[in-house]
Structure 1
Amino acid sequence: MSQSVERALRILPVLAAGPAGLGEVAEELAVHKSTALRLLRTLHEHGYAYRQGDGRYRLGARLFALAAEAVENLDVREVAHPHLVELNRATGHTVHLALHQDDEVVYVDKVDSRYPVRMYSRIGRPVPLTVAAVAKVLLADLPEAERRALAERIDYPRHTARSTPDAAAFLRELALVREQGWATDLGGHEESLNCLAAPVYGPHGRVAAAMSLSAPTVVADADGLLDLLPLLVRTADAIGRDYAGGGPAPTTPTAPTAPTPMP
Structure 2
Amino acid sequence: MTVGKLGHVVKPSTLAVEGMHVRSMQRVVAILECVAEAHVPASAARVATGTGLSLSTVSRIMRDLAEDQLLDRLDDGSYLLGARVFRLVRTAREGGDAMATIHRVLADLRDRTGETASLNVRREDVRVCIASVDSRHELRRVVPVGDAIPLVGTATGDVLMAGLPAAEQTALIDRARHADGSRVELLARLREAAAQGWSVQRDGLISGVTGVAVPVRSGERVVAALTLSGPTTRLSPEAVEKCVPDLEDAARRIAPWVREP
TM exceeding 0.5: yes
Q: Is the Cα contact below 8 Å between 2:114 and 2:135 reproduced in 1?
A: yes
Q: Which residue of structure 2 lines up, in the alignment, with residue 238 of structure 1? A: 253
Q: Is the Cα contact below 8 Å between 1:95 and 1:213 reproduced in 2?
A: yes
TM-superposed CA distance for 1:212, in Å, is 0.8
Tell me the distance in 2 between the aligned counterparts of 1:220 and 1:120: 15
The amino acid that maps onto 2:138 is P
Tell me the distance in 2 between the aligned counterparts of 1:168 and 1:78: 41
Q: Which residue of structure 1 lines up, in the alignment, with residue 102 of structure 2? A: 80
Q: Is the Cα contact below 8 Å between 1:198 and 1:236 reproduced in 2?
A: yes
Q: Measured at CA, do residues 243 and 110 of structure 1 come closer, stay the same or move farther in structure 2, by a change above 3 Å?
A: closer
Indicate the RMSD between aligned Cα atoms, in angstroms: 2.3
1:152 aligns with 2:152: no
TM-superposed CA distance for 1:81, in Å, is 2.1
Q: Measured at CA, do residues 175 and 78 of structure 1 come closer, stay the same or move farther in structure 2, by a change above 3 Å?
A: farther
Q: Which residue of structure 2 lines up, in the alignment, with residue 189 of structure 1? A: 205
Q: Is the Cα contact below 8 Å between 1:186 and 1:194 reproduced in 2?
A: yes
The count of residues paired between Structure 1 and Structure 2 equals 166
The amino acid that maps onto 1:201 is R
Q: Which residue of structure 2 lines up, in the alignment, with residue 103 of structure 1? A: 125
Q: Which residue of structure 1 lines up, in the alignment, with residue 188 of structure 2? A: 172
Q: How does the TM-score come out when normalised to structure 2?
A: 0.57
The amino acid that maps onto 1:169 is E
Q: Which residue of structure 2 lines up, in the alignment, with residue 18 of structure 1? A: none
Tell me the distance in 1 between the aligned counterparts of 2:163 and 2:99: 19
Q: Measured at CA, do residues 242 and 108 of structure 1 come closer, stay the same or move farther in structure 2, by a change above 3 Å?
A: closer
Off by >6 Å, runs of 4+ in structure 1 = 73-76
The amino acid that maps onto 1:193 is V
Tell me the distance in 2 between the aligned counterparts of 1:129 and 1:102: 9
The amino acid that maps onto 2:110 is N
Computing the radius of gyration from Cα coordinates, the structure with the larger value is 2
The amino acid that maps onto 2:140 is R
Structure richer in helix, relative to its length:
2
Q: Which residue of structure 1 lines up, in the alignment, with residue 235 of structure 2? A: 220
TM-superposed CA distance for 1:186, in Å, is 1.7
Matched residues, percent identical?
30
Q: Measured at CA, do residues 74 and 201 of structure 1 come closer, stay the same or move farther in structure 2, by a change above 3 Å?
A: farther
Q: Is the Cα contact below 8 Å between 2:119 and 2:227 reproduced in 1?
A: yes
TM-superposed CA distance for 1:154, in Å, is 2.0
TM-superposed CA distance for 1:77, in Å, is 4.6
Q: How does the TM-score come out when normalised to structure 1?
A: 0.57
Q: Measured at CA, do residues 229 and 199 of structure 1 come closer, stay the same or move farther in structure 2, by a change above 3 Å?
A: same
Q: Is the Cα contact below 8 Å between 1:77 and 1:97 reproduced in 2?
A: no
Q: Is the Cα contact below 8 Å between 2:112 and 2:246 reproduced in 1?
A: no
Runs (5+) with no aligned partner, structure 1: 1-69, 158-163, 245-263
Q: Is the Cα contact below 8 Å between 1:156 and 1:165 reproduced in 2?
A: no
Runs (5+) with no aligned partner, structure 2: 1-90
Tell me the distance in 2 between the aligned counterparts of 1:212 and 1:133: 8
